[in-house]
């Protein structure tokens, strides 16, 4: 049996939790919006540990994407790594789009979703239990 605890999202917070996950996709509409919108939600909804944690995850996911994208861009200077860079950009691009969508779907169902790798850097899941 797994030691992980499934955290339930209260019905009144499900919509905000789903929108917070999707806020990371704002970068496709507003330049750097993928980092600005989650940061604003984090500040505005700081009274809710659940929403605050989800906003931190969305923010960290986008910040990691910017750093990895930039680091891979430096690798374009080497001719031999150019194919690797384009494959890497494709993989992280798909992840940055898919993870918030999966998180929003889970939040809408009432289940807390922690992003792989990024979720581990953010504080452990909030103390809202099923």
pLDDT in tens, 1-50: 344 556 788 888 888 889 899 988 888 888 888 888 888 988 998 888 88
pLDDT mean across residues, the chain: 83
Separation between Cα atoms, residue 126 and residue 97, nearest integer Å:
24
Distance, in Å, from the CA atom of 56 to the CA atom of 61, rounded to the nearest integer, reads 8
The whole-number pLDDT of residue 46 equals 85
Residue 43 to residue 41: CA distance in whole angstroms: 5
Q: What SS3 state is found at 94?
A: helix
For residue 5, the model assigns a pLDDT of: 59
Q: What is the DSSP letter of 8?
A: B
What's the rounded mean pLDDT across residues 77-84?
A: 87
Angle between helix 49-75 and helix 82-109 axes, rounded to 10 deg: 170
Residues 75 and 81 sit within 8 Å (Cβ to Cβ): yes
- The mean pLDDT value for 63-91 works out to 90
Residue 12's pLDDT is 85
- pLDDT value of position 119: 66
- Which pair of structure tokens corresponds to residue 56? 């931190």
């Amino acid at each position: 049996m797994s030691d992980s605890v499934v955290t339930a999202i209260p019905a009144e917070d499900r919509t905000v939790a789903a929108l917070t996950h999707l806020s990371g996709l704002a970068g496709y509409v507003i330049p750097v919006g993928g980092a600005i919108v989650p940061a604003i939600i984090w500040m505005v909804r700081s009274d809710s540990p659940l929403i605050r944690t989800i906003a931190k995850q969305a923010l960290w996911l986008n910040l990691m994407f910017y750093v990895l994208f930039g680091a891979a861009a430096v690798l374009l200077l080497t001719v031999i790594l150019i194919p690797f860079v384009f494959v890497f950009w494709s993989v992280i691009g798909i992840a940055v789009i898919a993870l918030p969508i999966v998180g929003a779907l889970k939040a809408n169902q009432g289940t807390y979703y922690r992003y792989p790798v990024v979720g581990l850097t953010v504080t452990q899941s909030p103390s809202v239990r099923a």
